Amino acid sequence: MGKGGSLSEGVIKNIVLSYTYVAIWIFLSFTVIVYNKYILDKKMYDWPFPISLTMIHMSFCSTLAFLLIKVFNFVEPVSMSRDTYLRSVVPIGALYSLSLWLSNSAYIYLSVSFIQMLKALMPVAVYSIGVMFKKEGFKSETMVNMLSISFGVAIAAYGEARFDVWGVVLQLGAVAFEATRLVLIQILLTSKGITLNPITSLYYVAPCCLGFLFIPWIVVEFPVLRETSSFHFDYVIFGTNSFCAFALNLAVFLLVGKTSALTMNVAGVVKDWLLIAFSWSVIKDTVTPINLFGYGIAFLGVAYYNHAKLQAMKAKEAQKSAQQIDEESGRLLEEKEGGRKIEPED
């Protein structure tokens, strides 16, 4: 029983750890979304300055990332030339800053539940932009799936009780910029063999985001903040909010490192349903049956998309393993034949 017992204990331990990482990521992601909504919504904390909030996050995250990499050596920095940084990281940072700015702005106009429904369009945007940049091949079956997701989100939008055109434009813009960023990461970094985990990503990208956000902040929000003489920086609110945002990135690092990116996608679906339930029961946002019906269609489309990606990954791994076996067999056969040639004659 020794070996069998220890093996089962190890398996159980891995399962428990995996579920723990998933639970931590869901909790932190949930907390950051609700916390941002609380700060930005005019009916709650009433601090409708999404650029300022994003800049606070980026300042906090870049400082902590610097400490973790340069002082505590928590993760190894990635060697990167100045040319690579300017050509690859800067465009990604620009897109990330726009994505964060617009997504945080949407919380002022839309409910948490409806924003989660609109985020279901992310696979559609990533696939469409991937096809545009020739990183994805066009497939009729995949396009039909993308259309089904879009159709479901359209139904959910039709049934939205608190529909706001400007809020929808902001959230769709955030989805488009984020999808473009994800595709560009493959083109500009992954293709060059550069892999950034969430910590090194913040170390390189967060200061860049801060620089890009400073320009619209000076024009849009700084004049209003300057006139609001009664405002005092709430260190407790903004400090804990920023810490949650950084902890979320650390949780992504742990979740993807210990499980897989696909696990995070599945966990994301669970988180979205929890947020919709929370938005309806606690925040008292209106969630209509048409909302749920439309999001249900989109949810099935996203689930099928994740399933198809998993099958494709498995097929690719199987093909790679078969190729390695063939190469190894060929090498052994060559060695055997070579050995026969040099054998001395009787």
Q: What Rg do the C-alpha atoms of the chain give, in angstroms?
A: 24
pLDDT digits (tens, 9 = 90+) for 214-267: 999 999 999 988 887 566 788 999 999 999 999 988 887 677 666 666 676 777
The pLDDT value recorded for residue 270 is 83
DSSP 49: -
On average, the pLDDT of the chain sits at 85
Three-point CA angle 204, 208, 210, nearest 5°:
125
- Among residues 193, 185, 250, the alpha carbon closest in space to that of 78 is found at 193
- Which pTM does this prediction carry? 0.82
Q: Are 210 and 55 in contact (CB under 8 A)?
A: yes
DSSP label of 193:
T
What distance in Å separates the CA atoms of residue 125 and residue 174, rounded to the nearest whole number? Answer: 11
Q: What does the block give as tokens for 164?
A: 């706001």
Amino acid at 256: V
Amino acid 21 reads: Y
Q: What tokens were used for 73? A: 């050596």
User: For residue 182, is pLDDT > 90?
Assistant: no
Residues 99 and 176: their CA atoms lie apart, in Å, by 8
What is the length of the chain? 346
**What distance in Å separates the CA atoms of residue 284 and residue 277, rounded to the nearest whole number?**
10
Residue pLDDT, tens place only, 5-62: 445 676 677 777 778 888 888 899 899 999 999 999 988 888 999 999 999 999 999 9
Task: Please report which confidence band the pLDDT of residue 326 belongs to, taking 50, 70 and 90 as the band edges.
Answer: low
- Cα(259)–Cα(266) distance, rounded to whole angstroms? 12
